[in-house]
Every structure is written in structure tokens, then in C-alpha cells.
Chains A and B, each alone.
Chain A
Amino acid sequence: MSTSADLPPDVRRIVVVGAGECGTHAAMALRDKGFAGEITLIGRESVHAYERPPLSKGALAVDELALVHPWTPEQLEQARIALRLGVEVTDIDLTAGTVTTSTGPQGAGEVVPWDRLLLALGSDPRRLEIDEVTYLRTHEDAEALRALLRSQGHLLVVGAGFIGLEIAAGARERGMDVTVVEAGPRALGRIVPEEVAAQVSALHDAHGVSLRVTTTVAGLRRDGDGLRATLSDGDELVVDAVVAGIGATPTTALAEAAGLVVDDGIVVDAALRTSDPRVFAAGDCASFPDARSGGRVRLESWRNAHDQAETAAASMLGQGKAHVAVPWFWSDQYDQMLSVAGLPGTGERSVLRHRDDGVLLHLGLDAQDRLVHAAAVGSGASVAKDIRVAEKLIAAAVPLDPTQLMDPGVPLRSILKAATA
């Protein structure tokens, strides 16, 4: 923790737009880092920050949806964070240094001045150009989805990414028949290597999910109590509900209107600063330079939301350093965990490690045999531990011996110890 003496004296008021996990974490981190000025946290949802990952995982299996809040209202109040929930920010004025909010449950719209502004606007589910489809982003979406799941009937899931497959697993566990259609040639094409994705597809197959790749929904219409879906291959399915998990688009309209540079996300530098030096962006909505690959990336993940909240808070207080956290993703499906560290597709060659307990680990190495990417599927504890070690190996960025990585008899942690000794 720094003392307030280290903090820039011209920063007295900070506004955070977006009161999800990223924005709220950033607000709390500002206090942890010694900022004593005003913090206003503005969110369009009417509840304070809650964890989104359970919405497509555990929340589908239980009878009552209980939101997990990382911070209590009391904690936020004690940290003197002025919460404005259930309101939209309608305008950012970079010249005046203000944001304008819509009228909300707490009263009329207001103009809030800032010396530093953080945009943690999140992302919105990508939508199909057909009606009667359910999407998942907010807790309200989760309630609507839960209402569709029952112990019988047929659910059509569009998209075999993390969200689509998690929903498929949840619906199967509830007892529904599940068909998943995926436009690409395989499941998890964006983020998971082929070998690992094949194991995940086999898992769904074993649980009775019908996965149809290179298939899209061409049309959908009401048919009695159900829905009749026409697939791109001409087949027709009568289903009870359709849910789509086909990616998300960054929420950037506000930033664009304000004149900030936007290119598939709000463009920020390594310290998460936008094209205006007093304005920062973090989480799903931010397009940032990846420290390892040198490419520009935008990550929609729970861990990234928290990691970038820390970086942004430090940057706003002039304590900034480049954002170097290793990307990390996870998914729970049935009794298995799928986890990924690093950026997919950044390796030159790959190595497979088959553990005795059935865990498959895919390791991507660059031209110098440094680890840049790892993906694993299998029972939770082993996957979590291996991927955590892999994350440290990626951060260490030292050349490794591929034959050792391949050999499940050589513990990854001993490779890490040797690498960081």
C-alpha cells in the first residue's frame, strides 16, 4: 500500500462506469492503494456486483438462484464508494470532464465530474437475427434461462463455446434432450486446441448431447407449444427452447460517441490508458496490447476482469505498470473442468501430456521452446493445479525441454522449480 503522499494531487474525483466485477474491483483497489478522494461507481444493472461465471454453471443445477456477491453493500459503503445502480451513463464529456447519467431509481439524472474516468462497460451477447432465442449475460437472463430448463423436453443450443457447452451440460443434468449446433468445424474453435476440444466433445457425446458442427439455424418458428427450427443442412427439429452462446461484442458505443479510439474494443495501452490520458478502460470492453505475443487482444473472462481492475486502479493513481497478467479461463462441464492459460494460437509447436488420471494437457511452445499457451480437461483438482503451474511457466518465459513436458512422470512443478531456480 502507498501513502496518500505518493498520489497525484490533481486526482480528487474518480468515476467508474460499469459496476460489475471489474468496475467494482477497481473501485475497491483504488482504496486499497490509498486513494482518499471521491469514487462514484455507476452501473446499469440494479444490483451490486455479482459473479457471472456461476450463471452458466452451478446456477442451472440448483432450484434457487442465489447470486454470489464478492463485496457486500456494507463493504462498499465502508470504502466510501458512491454507488449509482440501475442507471445508464448517457454521455461522456471529455472537455468538461463529466459523465451524465439517466434518471434512475435513486432520483433524477446527474452530471458527475471526474479527474480520472474508468470504463468497465463489459460486453453484450452477440445476437442471431431470429426471434424466440434466449441469451445469457445478466442474472435476469439466467432466471429466464432457468425457467426454460426442465426435467424433460428438448433444448437447442446455438454455439459450442464455453457458454453454450456449459448450458448444454446443465440442461442434460436437468434431464433435457440437448442438441448443440456449431457454425464452425468443431467445438471450442476460438480458444481451445483441437485435441482438448475433441475430449470435451466426447464428454458431451457420452452424456447424450447431440453436437452438430458446421451447422447453423436457418429459421425458427412457433409450432404449437414448441419451436420448429430449420437447420442449415435442411433438417428440422421441434424443440422447447433455443438458447444461443455465440460470443459477445464489447460495449463501446459510449466511448465511441465521446471520441475515444475504438477498434473491436476501447483501444488502450499497456497501462490500460485510452486515447485520452485521463480515461482508462478495463475488462471485456478493452482492447489491449498482449505483453507476450505483441498482438492486440480483448479478453472476455472473469480473471481478466479482476486482473485489469488492479492494473487500471494503479494506472489511474500514477502507480501504473504494464499489464502482464497471464490470461486464464475456466469452464465446468459435468464433473470435469476445462481450463486454459495464455493465448491460444500463439505457439509455434505443441506438446501433449496424457496424465494417468485421464487429464489431457496441451502445451503450446514458441520458437524458443518457451511455454505460451496451455489447455487441459479432466477432473477438477488436477486440471486446476496443472494449469496454475503452466501459468507460472508462461510468466517465467524460459526455454523448456519438450520431452520432459510430454512425460507425465515428470511433475510439472519440478519443471517449474528447475525453470525458476
Chain B
Amino acid sequence: MSWTRVCEIDDVEEEDVIGVSVDGQDIAVYRDEDGGFHASEGHCTHERMLLCEGLVMDGIIECPKHNGRFRITDGKAMGAPVTVDLRTYPVKVEDGEVHVDLG
């Protein structure tokens, strides 16, 4: 495992997403309504839009452009126009900081 610190927990509001860059790679970091953190690749699998501009509601991230929907816990594509799941990454929270394992 190789953990990278990506942000503090307060950087992400509940039911929201921010974009971070790790070694030039765009990552989306989500906080769900129960305070849990999740991470995925930063772009929609459909047309490479930045997901951090999308809306998180009820555990689903919606791409800002074509409204493609993915489940934030496992990246599952929830139907047209998106058919390819998002790659997700393990997340841990320690001392108020969020770490992601990009493998």
C-alpha cells in the first residue's frame, strides 16, 4: 500500500466532491452524507469531464456535462450515457487528514 495525503476532512463538505492532483493525476475525493470518504479517478469515463464540478446526491456523483451518474462507493456506472465504471481507490482518514492509495 502506498498512501498519499490528499486533503483535510474539512476541505470537503458533506455530500460533496473536490478535485485533487496527485503526481499530475486528477483524483476526485468524495464525502458522503454520513461523513465517509471515497476516491475515484478525476474524470468521467464518458468524455473526460472533471467530476469535481459534478453534483453528489444520495451517494451518486453526476457528471456536470452529460449528467452521467456513478455510485461514489464503488464507481459503478448507473446507466446511459455512461457505461464504463469509474476506477476507485482505497481511502483512509487519520488525524483529520484524508489519504488515498493509488496502488
Contacts and interface: CB of A to CB of B under 8 A. Distances in A.
Contact of B55 (A70, A306, A380, A389): A389
B62 A32 contact: no
B80 A385 contact: no
A413 B53 contact: no
B54 interface: yes
A384 B57 CA distance: 14
A70 B15 CA distance: 30
Contacts of A416: 57
Contact of A32 (B52, B67, B80): B80
Contacts of A96: none
Interface string A382-419: 00110011000000000000000000000001001100
A380 B57 contact: no
Contacts, number: 27
A381 B47 CA distance: 17
Indicate the size class of the contact surface on chain B: 10 to 19
Nearest to A387: B64
Interface residues of A, number: 13
Contacts of B19: 381
Contacts of A306: 66
Given A32-B80, A388-B62, A388-B64, A381 B52 contact: yes
Contacts of A384: 53-55, 64
Contacts of A380: 53
Nearest to B14: A411
Contacts of A389: 55
Contacts of B15: 413
B54 A413 contact: no
Contacts of B47: 68, 70
B57 A381 contact: no
B66 A413 contact: no
Nearest to A379: B53
A380 B18 CA distance: 12
Interface of A: 32, 68, 70, 306, 380-381, 384-385, 388-389, 413, 416-417
27 contacts: A32-B80, A68-B47, A70-B47, A306-B66, A380-B53, A381-B19, A381-B52, A381-B53, A384-B53, A384-B54, A384-B55, A384-B64, A385-B53, A385-B54, A385-B55, A385-B64, A388-B54, A388-B55, A388-B62, A388-B64, A388-B67, A389-B55, A413-B15, A413-B55, A413-B57, A416-B57, A417-B57
Given A68-B47, A388-B54, 20 more contacts: A32-B80, A70-B47, A306-B66, A380-B53, A381-B19, A381-B52, A384-B53, A384-B55, A384-B64, A385-B53, A385-B55, A385-B64, A388-B55, A388-B64, A388-B67, A389-B55, A413-B15, A413-B55, A413-B57, A417-B57
